[in-house]
Chains A and B, each alone.
Chain A
Amino acid sequence: MATKRYTLSIFTENSPGVLQRITIMFTRRKLNIDSVTVSETERRGVSRFTIVLEVDGALIQKIAKQIRRIIEVLHVDVFEEHEIIAKELAFIRVEPVNDAEREEILAIVQQTEARIIKDEEQNIVLEFSGTREETDALCDHLTPFRLTEFVRSGRIAIPKKGVTHEEAIRLAV
């Protein structure tokens, strides 16, 4: 089975339990989800789930159809990596022990698109948004400087070709 990274965009009515209904479709096949992000869409009452996982290509299409069958689900898209613009947000805490280290951290920040959102002597918090690989690369650079805490959001993604779900959610709440 050749697995690939897929991103699902799932549009649903905003009601309790929908997340559980969707995750059941993965857990019953013992699949592990890499990330989930949920937010309200441009339309009130409609939620958007962005789910990322590594899975066989034929299987993801079957699962997508089973998810589409959930009553609250209005629309499902399955995207490959090249079809989407995708980012995640990360916070990174570093604790430099001296000024030399501080300088090096600031240099790294300059080279990347990271932003300093808290700056105390031994407590610097950076914010970074980028792809998973870019975030990982930044972390690798910062590891020597007492990287003590790292948290990232799930992926959010939008298709490059334009909106796909407009019709499907037109009739919704």
Chain B
Amino acid sequence: MTASRKPAATEKLSAEISGSYAVLESLVRNGCDTIFGYPGGAIMPIYDALYDYRKKIRHVLVRHEQGATHAAEGYARVTGRAGVCFATSGPGATNLVTGIADAMLDSVPMVCITGQVAAHLLGTDAFQETDIIGVTMPITKWNYQITNAEEIPAIIDKAFQIAEEGRPGPVLIDITKNAQIDMCEYDHTPKPLKSYVWSKPQPKTGDLERAANLINEAKQPMMLIGHGILISHAEEEVRMFAEHTGIPVASTLHGLSAFPTDHPLYTGMLGMHGNYGPNLLTNEADVIIAAGMRFDDRVTGNVSKYAPDAKIIHIDLDAAEIGKNVGTRVGIIADAKEALQGLIPLLLKSEHPEWIARFQACHHEEKEKVLDRDIFPKEGMLKMGEVVRVLSEKTHGEAVVVSDVGQHQMMAARYYRFKKSNSWMSSGGLGTMGFAVPAAMGAQIGAPDRPVVAIVGDGGIQMTIQELGTIAQEQLPVKIVLLNNNYLGMVRQWQELFFDRRYSFVHLENPDFQTISKGFGVPAILVEKREQLSEAMDRMLAMDGPCLLEVRVEQEQNVFPMVPTGASVSEVRLD
């Protein structure tokens, strides 16, 4: 049955092929080499065609469609290209929802292809029919239902273009079964898109000049960097900007690794569990240059008390971000790299030693009250922070670190010392527990030559633990550091601090993770004592294949500094 539908040899420019082959040809021509997916009735024709593309495309059979979406995110973040997912209609499609929402909030390029019931059954409550277009409309950058095979090539081209261009995001294409089976004319010469034209906004000279004047006159300026720096590859421009102007740099959770942690002008992370100095001193800054970040409420704290004295210069490719959460003096709608390239020549060489000294003083205070106890504890149970420190030392700050969501996430963000760009990923906007294991899997496929380490909690790992099976089947050398505190730690911390220690449903009686991991075919190591940690970490990192390192850590440790909800960033607490 399939043989007759295979695409004809490509020397013929135009050929009759089935919609399913058109899907795969279109994926290949858009640079797709990996698909994370899970088959089912409504997408079977495409899976049948995929059988003939095994040499061109690696298909990774995940264990749950949510895993496919996070894996696609991991892949996309390390490669900068759209991650691709396949799922069947109904439950397959709805299982994608969390990961799509995650990619939307974190601007990750993704193309999801879902099978759908045949066009004549649409709207009839047919078996496994879900209106996935309606469901995903608010959480995709774009979505589209194909009911006619002829539409496939142009729509898939458009899907990749939209997912990857400008501010990236997820796109979902729903393809009815008849469109997968019907024949269509496939033109192997790429067609220009007629209905979607995107042109990159260029920084305006006037805006750059106004920004430069503010920066040149600033006494206490700060630069805030975010994910946009990594997306636009503006790391070098940020470094030049900072070194030329002497302006201290702070990063959002998603901007981590864009600027080396050890750089003398780096002051740390912003936000609820960010560093003391950058939070506190935001409210003393007179000029803030924010590039590729979006003033999320986790960063600003109480926005009405945020940076009251600062004239804000906001660089973002997405015009809708300018002025959305905080008032800006100068909005530069442009790619961060191009904006900084335009800005740097207009800036005077400068230094701000007294201002920098303020950050250093804050750092010393934080070091004494929090940092040393977190990462160099002398006694008691192992702490999350020291595990991250040891990992950071042993990987020389060069691993790709993928965190889940919770206390361990903040510890990883705070204590891993990044030397290489694009080395950190986490679910920031949606805060999706279960992100890390599948995202690390996708990152490892996208960056096969880099060490990839997931840092995950005992709660979160159980949300997508079945992907250990995928990791084993694909023999991916992903390393998983499980920080087991027998608690939904972050929620417990809030209950301790803000709900009178009423621990309402946060204690976990956990399964034997060692047995589970081994059962999936992933070797596991258990660490319960400080003396075991270093050697165990070495053993994990030396393994050729995957490995899970479970570390039993102090159960009721809290993450500090902390900006309590509703408080101003200047009310950041050290204990």
Contacts and interface: CB of A to CB of B under 8 A. Distances in A.
Interface stretch (B109-117, B137-145, B334-342): B137-145
Interface string A128-163: 000000000000000000000000000000000000
Interface in B38-82: none
A124 to B, nearest CB: 41
Given A20-B137, A61-B323, A66-B320, 5 more contacts: A17-B137, A62-B324, A65-B319, A68-B320, A71-B142
Nearest to B325: A62
Interface in B116-155: 133-134, 137-138, 141-142
Nearest to A172: B195
Contacts of A1: none
Contacts of A17: 133, 137
B197 interface: yes
A81 B344 CA distance: 43
B137 A71 contact: no
B495 to A, nearest CB: 30
A127 B324 CA distance: 43
A58 to B, nearest CB: 8
A173 interface: yes
Contacts of A20: 134, 137
A173 B197 CA distance: 10
Size category, A interface? 10 to 19
A13 interface: yes
Contacts of B505: none
B320 A24 contact: no
B269 interface: no
A71 B197 contact: no
B182 to A, nearest CB: 20
Interface in A17-51: 17, 20-21, 24, 28
B138 A13 contact: no
Given A17-B137, A20-B134, A171 B197 contact: yes
B194 interface: yes
Interface string A60-96: 0110011011010000000000000000000000000
B318 A69 contact: yes
A66 B134 CA distance: 19
A62 B195 contact: no
Contacts, number: 31
Contacts of B323: 61-62
Interface string B193-205: 0111100000000
B162 interface: yes
A173 B141 contact: no
Contacts of B196: 71
Contacts of A13: 195
A71 B141 contact: yes
A17 B137 CA distance: 9
A61 B197 CA distance: 23
A76 to B, nearest CB: 11
Contacts of B318: 69
Nearest to A64: B320
B138 A71 contact: no
B131 to A, nearest CB: 11
B194 A24 contact: no
Contact of A24 (B138, B162, B322): B138
A81 to B, nearest CB: 24
B319 A173 contact: no
A153 B521 CA distance: 66
A13 B142 CA distance: 13
A20 B162 CA distance: 19
A97 to B, nearest CB: 47
Contacts of B194: 173
B324 A28 contact: no
Interface in B306-346: 318-320, 322-324
A13 B322 CA distance: 25
A86 B478 CA distance: 62
A32 B318 CA distance: 26
A56 B35 CA distance: 45
Contacts of B137: 17, 20-21, 24
A22 to B, nearest CB: 11
